[in-house]
């Protein structure tokens, strides 16, 4: 079955102004003339240095391997591996080979992987060697023809097979509207949706951010984010590659190790949790940050206390921005002082080429400082949800604007404020958690009558997942046992930090659970 297009009005809006061509070809065109210059250096583990020539040759070999498999046009390549430079090379290889990249969170468990593989029907699955046994069973049952392994220590069958391929490869021609990646976002009803992003979506956003954030060829990016979502895979990696800038590559975030490399770096991107952990280190000083030009935060709200303390300690004002899987980046606080100040508690202005409006529930436009639903359009807005034509249609307005599901306002100076989220989304440590998914699993457990899941402010994660469970008559529920069952079913970031058993849930006159009451009850749970 072919990807489902967006409604005509949305597609027309998305295609307007899209740069054409294969995204990899555009990234490759930005490589420096001296291909033997360092491109990526590992920041933890054994020190390894990859040149730009290494990136070109290694991605060509993997692309040739994929081409040799005789995959159908538009084939999906699903990847669930630990972070490594080779995993990034695999992503680049999929792009240049003209296939569709499908990154999967490394925390996903078997039931989640079974859904993604069954829904996307990838022709190729790449997983960590330690998970090959159960992942391959899921993949082969779903009809996947090829399963490879890729480990963070540069081993695995993918690299073994690619080693025998030629080191030259001409990128497969692609157009702006051709699919480049599918990112699954958790569904509010527990059913995840695959956001289809095109070569044009990704390239247009990368080019916009290159100008907006002043990327330079002499930049050095500390890359300490995962590469299975927008922030680390697209925003950070594309930014450095398109600038011909060097990356210091951390397989996982370690505040002490990152601080040790700050003096040689110029750019750092992180979710609020990473900034909180940096602030916990005495080594975060103005001297350590003297060479830095830009700290960027996103994927979750940054507490104003964190914003202010970081400025005081480092001498740098964090640049906050706003985006999502379906749109990549939408807004940004200014980089250049001439364009305005970076204001804590806001996500700045819409990026060039991005339309953003705030609408009331009745569809009328909201005025200054009036709160409503945020809607967007532009070349960065996705193609639609994979094999969900009705859901795609539902999420776009009749005049082609995408309904983000976020609630916010625009102040008198034009800054965008995100004040809430519809559908009760919880963002914990930068990861999206939809309560309905967790509630559905809890409600299936023996002895559980019903449950409610909410987010509570957390000094480290931004928000923490909290569950309240009501037992069936006569049932004796143990919170630790329920949490243990959840850990076996879902990714750890979705598992509640606290779970309470109580006789009932607060309801309004219509019988609807009052989650606002529950949020008020747990808001001080993690204080101090």
Q: How far apart are CA 213 and CA 231, in angstroms?
A: 15
**N- to C-terminal Cα separation, the chain:** 52
* CATH superfamily of the domain spanning 352-420: Luciferase; Domain 3 (2.30.38.10)
Q: For position 180, what pLDDT does the model report?
A: 98
pLDDT digits (tens, 9 = 90+) for 351-372: 999 999 999 989 999 999 998 8
Q: How far apart are CA 253 and CA 233, in angstroms?
A: 15
The architecture of the domain spanning 425-522 is 2-Layer Sandwich (3.30)
Name the average pLDDT for the chain.
Answer: 92
Instruction: Say if residues 259 and 288 touch (Cβ distance below 8 Å).
Output: yes
210 by Cβ neighbours in 10 Å (0-12 / 13-18 / 19+) ranks as middle
Output DSSP code: residue 214. T
Highest mean pLDDT among 10-19, 420-429, 490-499: 490-499
If you search the block for the tokens 């770096």, which residue do you land on? 265
Report whether pLDDT(429) > 80.
yes
Per the document, the length of the chain is 528
pLDDT-based confidence at 30, cuts 50/70/90? Answer: very high
- Nearest residue to 516 via CA among 525, 507, 528: 507
pLDDT-based confidence at 324, cuts 50/70/90? Answer: very high
CA dihedral 60, 182, 26, 176 (to 10 degrees): 130
CATH 2.30.38.10 in the chain, residues? 352-420
Q: For position 7, what pLDDT does the model report?
A: 33
Q: For position 188, what pLDDT does the model report?
A: 41
Given 3.40.50.980, 3.40.1160.10, 3.30.720.110, 3.40.462.40, which CATH number is that of 22-39+47-174? Answer: 3.40.50.980
Query: Which distant-in-sequence residues (6+ apart) come within 8 Å of 195 by Cβ?
Result: 182, 183, 184, 185, 325, 326, 382, 385, 386
The two tokens of residue 279 are 């602030």
Which helix (H) or strand (E) segment holds residue 146: the answer is: strand 146-149
Report whether pLDDT(332) > 60.
yes
Q: How far apart are CA 97 and CA 93, in angstroms?
A: 6
Q: For position 423, what pLDDT does the model report?
A: 66
Q: For position 516, what pLDDT does the model report?
A: 85
Within 10 A of 510 (CB to CB), how many other CB atoms are there?
5
The bridge status of strand 38-42 relative to strand 246-249 is parallel
pLDDT-based confidence at 187, cuts 50/70/90? Answer: very low
CATH 3.30.300.30 in the chain, residues? 425-522
Instruction: Spell out the SS3 assignment of 284-346.
Output: CCCCCCCCCCEEEECCCCCCHHHHHHHHHHHCCCCEEEEEECCCEEEEECCCCHHHCCCCCCC
pLDDT digits (tens, 9 = 90+) for 233-261: 999 999 999 999 999 999 999 999 999 99
Within 10 A of 139 (CB to CB), how many other CB atoms are there?
24
Query: Within 13 Å and on the Cβ side, how many CA atoms surround 405?
Result: 17
Report whether pLDDT(228) > 60.
yes
pLDDT-based confidence at 124, cuts 50/70/90? Answer: very high
Query: Which distant-in-sequence residues (6+ apart) come within 8 Å of 302 by Cβ?
Result: 272, 275, 318, 320, 344, 462
- Nearest residue to 285 via CA among 265, 308, 310: 310
φ and ψ of 421, to 5 deg: -135, 130
φ and ψ of 113, to 5 deg: -60, -40
């Amino acid at each position: 079955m072919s990807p489902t297009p967006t409604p005509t009005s949305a597609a027309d809006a998305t295609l307007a102004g899209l740069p054409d061509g294969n995204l990899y070809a555009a990234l490759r065109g930005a490589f420096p003339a001296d291909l033997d210059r360092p491109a990526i250096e590992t920041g933890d583990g054994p020190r390894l240095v990859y040149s730009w020539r290494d990136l070109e040759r290694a991605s060509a070999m993997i692309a040739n391997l994929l081409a040799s498999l005789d995959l159908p046009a538009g084939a999906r390549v699903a990847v669930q591996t630990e972070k490594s430079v080779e995993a990034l090379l695999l992503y680049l290889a999929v792009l240049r080979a003209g296939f569709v990249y499908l990154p999967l969170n490394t925390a996903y468990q078997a039931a989640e992987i079974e859904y993604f593989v069954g829904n996307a029907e990838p022709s190729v699955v790449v997983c960590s060697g330690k998970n090959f046994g159960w992942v391959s069973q899921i993949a082969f049952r779903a009809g996947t023809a090829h399963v490879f392994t890729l480990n963070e220590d540069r081993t695995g069958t993918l690299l073994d097979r690619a080693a025998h391929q030629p080191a030259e490869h001409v990128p497969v021609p692609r157009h702006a509207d051709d699919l480049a990646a599918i990112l699954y976002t958790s569904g509010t009803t527990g059913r995840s949706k695959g956001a289809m992003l095109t070569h044009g979506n990704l390239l247009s956003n990368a080019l916009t951010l290159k100008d907006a954030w002043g990327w330079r060829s002499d930049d050095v990016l500390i890359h300490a984010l995962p590469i299975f979502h927008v922030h680390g895979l697209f925003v950070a990696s594309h930014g450095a590659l398109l600038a011909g800038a060097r990356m210091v590559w951390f397989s996982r975030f370690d505040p002490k190790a990152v601080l040790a490399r700050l003096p040689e770096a110029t750019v750092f991107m992180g979710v609020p949790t990473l900034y909180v952990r940096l602030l916990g280190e005495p080594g975060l000083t103005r001297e350590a940050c003297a060479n830095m030009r830009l700290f960027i935060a996103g994927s979750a709200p940054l507490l104003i206390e964190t914003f202010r303390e970081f400025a005081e300690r480092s001498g740098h004002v964090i640049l906050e921005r706003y985006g999502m899987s379906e749109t990549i980046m939408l807004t940004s606080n200014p980089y250049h002082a001439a364009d305005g100040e970076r204001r804590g508690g806001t996500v700045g202005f819409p990026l060039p080429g991005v339309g953003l409006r705030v609408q009331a529930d009745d569809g009328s436009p909201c005025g200054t400082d009036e709160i409503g639903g945020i809607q967007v359009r532009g070349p960065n807005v996705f193609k639609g949800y994979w094999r969900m034509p009705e859901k795609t249609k539902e999420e776009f307005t009749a005049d082609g604007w995408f309904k983000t599901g976020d609630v916010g306002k625009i102040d008198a100076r034009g800054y965008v404020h995100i004040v809430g989220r519809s559908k009760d989304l919880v963002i914990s440590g930068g990861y999206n958690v939809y309560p309905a998914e967790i509630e559905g699993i809890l409600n299936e457990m023996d002895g559980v009558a019903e449950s409610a899941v909410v987010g509570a402010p957390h000094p480290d994660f931004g928000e923490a997942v909290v569950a309240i469970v009501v037992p069936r008559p006569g049932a004796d529920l143990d919170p630790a046992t329920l949490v243990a069952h959840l850990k076996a079913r879902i990714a750890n970031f979705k598992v509640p930090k606290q779970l309470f058993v109580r006789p009932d849930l607060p309801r309004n006159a219509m019988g609807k659970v009052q989650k606002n009451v529950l949020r008020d009850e747990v808001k001080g749970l993690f204080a101090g």
